[in-house]
Structure 1
Amino acid sequence: MPETARLVEIDFFRGIAILLMIVFHTVFDLAFYYNWPLDYLDGFWYYQGKAAAVLFMLVSGISSILSRNPVRRGLTVFAIGLLITAATYAYSPAVYIRFGILHLLGIGMLAAPLVSRCSALLLSLIGTAVIVIGNEFSQITAATACLVPFGIKPPSFASLDYYPLFPWLGLVLFGMAAGKLLYSQNRPLWPSAASYRLVCWLSSLGRRSLLIYLMHQPIILAILYIVNP
């Protein structure tokens, strides 16, 4: 399927993920910078934020299977992830983003050509193995930070955004498996979806997801500063 032939339903779900992300980061900013009593590390807001991340991963996996050039996209996303690493290190070295969701999604896109010939079943099995291994890795600590991308952390590790390859790449692989199953005929599942205004609006957000990801936090912080300096 050509990259230019975008599927409305894919952009629609990516748009939903964008909205969930904006809500979660607004909650985070209010709690972290303005001491509002909002618990983003547990309960509703925690799972709401994780829902946004999971949806991004699944949609990214589907898109990587359908894309003609996931490597180019992967290099772009991973490079932006590195820029965010540098920016957050300059701002807060104690909790800077070493391996966040953009790093993960970039690696997933780069890996797509290597697994594109795998069946949906095999992709699902590999994804399950990655998740199981990741759960084991989460119980291990190491003296070095070199293994942070794989889910093995030093005891004092902290980060504003952390989505290591194990277990989270497993969800990207699940998305690839879904892409194999749902789009085996290279046809949209919702051929008439574009006729609905809400779908069109959310899809327009999804098409600009990377730009919105880069711009939303400065905008949120600026608005909060104006409202509550």
Structure 2
Amino acid sequence: MIKTQNPLVRFVVDYFSRPNKNRFEIVDVLRGLAVVQMMIFHFCFLLKEFRIAFLDFSYNANWAAFRIVIVTMFLSLVGVSLKIAWERGLKRKSYYRRLAQLFFYGLALSLTTYIIAPSRTVIFGILQFIFVASILGLVFVRLVWVNLILGTVIIWLGFNYANPIFNQAGLWWIGMVTRGPVTLDYVPLFPWFGLVLIGIFIGHFVVHKPQLAPIKSWHAKDFVSQTLALTGRHSLTLYMAHVPIFFVFIYLFMT
């Protein structure tokens, strides 16, 4: 516990320190870490867009690898979370509310990018992907080893096979294109749905294996991990809010 005499800081620390027994906090922490990395990526991207920093997001392998790490963390955790929710008795109301949020946030993102950057409109980005994957994942949520095998195959196909037939706009969401769409964000089913399936596979062992009980009972105790856990619990809201905030901040800084 962090010792402090400041009442505001003490309140925040005490609030963060309350363990949530109904959640796997390790999953929240990992998701929060992915959110922080995503914020760093988007902040740097906006610096490039405003021409404050000359960063090469198109051809620099380091930025491409950083994006892959972020997306991998997010999407594998989608599978883990879906499996945990299923094993605990999927609450339909919460599930449908989450789907509705993903749908309308995805629609809002597409409309916003169409207005701001019509030549790079987001058609099937990460929000649209998670919406579709959250529905398709229910088909596979009862399976175990099949998910590992099928997920590996989907990832391999997504990175190693392409066909011009998938270049049609109506099929972009599948992937395996020979010429990808010009867009600010593109996350097709191939290869990325493979990560969701592998996440479901991992989630099965997290829930059922007694050896992994410490992971289920783990709770964040230090300020950093507690902050990451809170960030992970509100990842969708932060995803929608952080880019406009960064945009306004950079714009005011420039003016």
TM-score, length basis structure 2 = 0.80
Q: Secondary structure at the match of 2:220?
A: helix
Question: Which residue number in structure 1 is paired with residue 128 of structure 2?
Answer: 103
Give, in whole Å, the separation in 1 of the partners of 2:235 and 2:73.
13
Contact 1:12–1:206 (8 Å) recurs in 2: yes
1:54-84 residue CA offsets vs partner (Å, 9 max, x unmatched): 1101111100111114742234323321221
Q: Secondary structure at the match of 2:208?
A: coil
Compared with structure 1, are the counterparts of its residues 192 and 170 closer, same or farther at alpha carbon in structure 2 (3 Å cutoff)? Answer: closer
Question: Are 1:196 and 2:196 counterparts?
Answer: no
Counterpart AA for 1:94: S
- Please, which of 144, 147, 162 is the counterpart of residue 171 of structure 2? 147
Compared with structure 1, are the counterparts of its residues 138 and 80 closer, same or farther at alpha carbon in structure 2 (3 Å cutoff)? Answer: farther
Contact 1:137–1:151 (8 Å) recurs in 2: no
**How many Å apart are 1:126 and its aligned residue?**
1.1
**How many Å apart are 1:8 and its aligned residue?**
0.8
Deviates more, 1:181-190 or 1:89-98: 181-190
Counterpart AA for 2:34: A
Give, in whole Å, the separation in 2 of the partners of 1:81 and 1:106.
9
Question: Which residue number in structure 2 is paired with residue 17 of structure 1?
Answer: 34
Over the matched positions of the two proteins, sequence identity in percent amounts to: 27
Residues 37-186 of structure 1 mapped to structure 2, 5 A cutoff: 37-41=54-58, 42-67=60-85, 68-69=90-91, 71-72=95-96, 73-119=98-144, 121-138=145-162, 140=164, 142=166, 144-153=168-177, 155=179, 157-184=181-208
Higher Rg of the two aligned structures? 2
1:7-41 residue CA offsets vs partner (Å, 9 max, x unmatched): 11000000000100000001111112225211223
Give, in whole Å, the separation in 2 of the partners of 1:193 and 1:102.
28
**How many Å apart are 1:144 and its aligned residue?**
2.5
Deviates more, 1:67-76 or 1:87-96: 67-76
**How many Å apart are 1:50 and its aligned residue?**
2.1
1:138-193 residue CA offsets vs partner (Å, 9 max, x unmatched): 45355621110001548472010000011111011111111011221595606343
Question: Which residue number in structure 2 is paired with residue 222 of structure 1?
Answer: 248
Larger relative contact order (CA 8 Å, sep ≥ 6): 2
Residues 197-212 of structure 1 mapped to structure 2, 5 A cutoff: 197-212=223-238
**How many Å apart are 1:108 and its aligned residue?**
1.6
Structure 1 unaligned residues grouped into runs of 5+: none
User: Could you say what the CA RMSD is over the residues aligned between the two structures, in angstroms?
Assistant: 2.4
Structure 2 unaligned residues grouped into runs of 5+: 1-19
Counterpart AA for 2:197: L
TM-score, length basis structure 1 = 0.89
Give, in whole Å, the separation in 1 of the partners of 2:169 and 2:249.
35
Give, in whole Å, the separation in 1 of the partners of 2:180 and 2:208.
46
Which 4+ residue blocks in structure 1 deviate beyond 3 angstroms? 136-143, 152-156, 185-188
